[in-house]
C-alpha cells in the first residue's frame, strides 16, 4: 500500500501508521491515535489492503474540499438512505446507493462495483452514510466528530457511526473520480451481527431512518429489511445470532417478511445438508 500511495497521490503527504499487530486497539482508537499526529488539513482513513488506480488522486481530494466549503467528508461507497434496520451502509435501494470500488472476490476475480442513482450525475453525490474502506475528511471535522473509540472497541460500524454523525450536521458525499482496488471481501458473520445489534440498540444517537431526498420505494424500510435478510443468508451466522438479529430488527411483525425470515434462518442448514449429500 505504501508504494501505491507514493506512486499515485500526486502531492505532499504524511503516512501515519499505527502499530496494532497485537489487536489491542479497536479501529476507532487506532484512527484517532493517528489523526492526533496529523499535521495536514485533510485526513484520509483507509484500509491497508487497497491499491490506487487513479493518478494524482490526492489532488482530486483536495480539489473537492476546496471547491465546496460545506463538504465535510467523502468516501467511495455510501447511501442516501440509512434505515432503522440493523444494517451496514448498503440499502439495496437503486435510487439511494452509491459506489465506485473495484473489489477482489474470494475467487480472486476483480469486480468493478459501480452503482449510481439513475437521475444523479457528477463526480460528487451527497449521502447520509459511508463505507469505511476509504474516508477523507477535513481535520477540523474529525476534531468535532472523532471516531467513537469508547463505544466501538472492535472493527465494525466505525464508518456508519462517524458518517451518520457528520451527515446529521454537515455535507457528506461519495465521489466517483478516485479508483482503487480493495483486496479483501466484507464479512457479515457472528461478530458483525453482535456489533450491529449493539450499535443500533445502544451506540447510535442519530435519528433513523435518515435520508437525502425521498426514496422511490413505497416502503423503503421494508425493502431494506428484506434486502438484508437475503444478503445475510449467505453468511455463516449461528442460529442464536440470527434469531437475536430478527428480534432486535423487529422483522417478525410483518407476515410478509416471513418467507425471507425462513430463507435467512435455514440457509446454513441447507448448505450443510447439500455439502454432506
Is residue 97 within 8 Å of 90, Cβ to Cβ?
yes
Q: How would DSSP label each residue in 184-253?
A: S----SHHHHHHHHHIIIII--S-SSEESS--SSSSHHHHHHHHHHHHHTTS---HHHHHHHHHHHTGGG
| Distance in angstroms (rounded) separating the CA atoms of residues 183 and 172 | 25
Q: Is the pLDDT of residue 275 over 50?
A: no
Q: Is the pLDDT of residue 269 over 70?
A: no
- pLDDT tens sequence across 234-259: 999 999 999 999 999 999 999 999 99
Q: What is the pLDDT of residue 268?
A: 53
Q: What is the mean pLDDT of residues 125-150?
A: 98
Q: How confident is the model at residue 163 (pLDDT cuts 50, 70, 90)?
A: very high
- pLDDT tens sequence across 49-106: 999 999 999 999 999 999 999 999 999 999 999 999 999 999 999 999 999 999 998 8
- pLDDT tens sequence across 12-44: 999 998 887 777 889 999 999 999 999 999 999
Q: What is the pLDDT of residue 205?
A: 95
**Where does 13-84 have alpha helices with state H?**
27-36, 57-67
Q: What is the pLDDT of residue 59?
A: 98
Q: What is the pLDDT of residue 20?
A: 77
Q: Is the pLDDT of residue 177 over 60?
A: yes
pTM listed for this prediction: 0.92
Grid coordinates belonging to 238: 449461528
CA dihedral 101, 63, 94, 129 (to 10 degrees): 90
- Dihedral over Cα of 3, 153, 174, 16: its sign: negative
> Which position has the grid cell 474516508?
135
Q: What is the pLDDT of residue 274?
A: 46
- pLDDT tens sequence across 186-219: 789 999 999 999 999 999 999 999 999 999 999 9
Number of H-type helices and E-type strands within the chain: 9, 13
Q: What is the mean pLDDT of residues 109-121?
A: 95
Q: Comparing C-alpha atoms, which of 90, 71, 84 is closest to residue 169? A: 71
Q: At 113, phi and psi to the nearest 5?
A: -90, 100
Q: Is the pLDDT of residue 271 over 80?
A: no
Q: What is the pLDDT of residue 219?
A: 97
Question: What structural domains and CATH numbers belong to the chain?
Answer: 2-217 (3.90.550.10)
| DSSP conformational letter for 105 | -
Q: What is the pLDDT of residue 201?
A: 96
Amino acid at each position: 500500500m505504501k508504494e501505491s500511495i507514493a506512486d499515485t497521490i500526486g502531492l505532499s503527504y504524511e503516512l501515519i501508521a499505527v502499530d496494532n499487530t497485537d489487536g489491542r486497539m479497536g479501529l476507532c482508537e487506532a484512527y484517532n491515535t493517528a489523526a492526533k499526529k496529523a499535521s495536514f488539513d485533510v485526513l484520509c482513513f483507509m484500509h491497508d489492503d487497497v491499491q490506487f488506480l487513479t493518478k494524482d488522486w490526492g489532488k482530486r481530494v483536495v480539489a473537492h474540499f476546496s471547491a465546496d466549503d460545506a463538504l465535510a467528508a467523502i468516501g467511495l461507497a455510501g447511501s442516501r438512505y440509512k434505515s432503522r434496520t440493523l444494517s451496514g451502509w448498503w440499502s439495496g435501494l437503486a435510487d439511494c446507493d452509491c459506489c465506485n470500488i473495484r473489489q477482489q472476490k474470494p475467487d480472486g476475480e476483480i469486480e468493478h462495483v459501480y452503482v449510481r442513482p439513475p437521475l444523479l450525475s457528477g463526480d460528487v453525490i451527497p449521502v447520509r452514510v459511508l463505507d469505511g474502506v476509504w474516508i477523507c475528511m477535513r481535520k477540523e471535522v474529525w476534531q468535532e466528530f472523532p471516531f467513537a473509540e469508547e463505544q466501538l472497541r472492535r472493527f465494525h460500524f466505525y464508518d456508519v457511526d462517524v458518517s451518520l454523525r457528520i451527515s446529521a450536521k454537515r455535507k457528506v458525499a461519495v465521489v466517483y473520480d478516485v479508483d482503487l482496488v480493495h483486496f479483501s471481501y466484507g464479512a457479515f458473520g457472528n461478530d458483525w451481527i453482535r456489533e450491529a445489534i449493539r450499535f443500533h440498540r445502544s451506540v447510535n444517537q442519530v435519528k433513523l431512518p435518515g435520508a437525502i431526498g425521498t426514496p422511490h420505494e413505497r416502503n423503503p424500510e421494508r425493502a431494506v429489511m428484506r434486502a438484508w435478510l437475503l444478503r445475510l443468508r449467505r453468511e455463516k451466522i449461528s442460529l442464536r445470532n440470527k434469531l437475536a438479529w430478527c428480534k432486535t430488527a423487529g422483522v417478525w411483525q410483518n407476515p410478509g417478511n416471513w418467507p425471507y425470515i425462513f430463507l435467512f434462518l435455514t440457509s446454513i442448514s441447507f448448505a450443510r445438508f447439500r455439502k454432506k449429500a
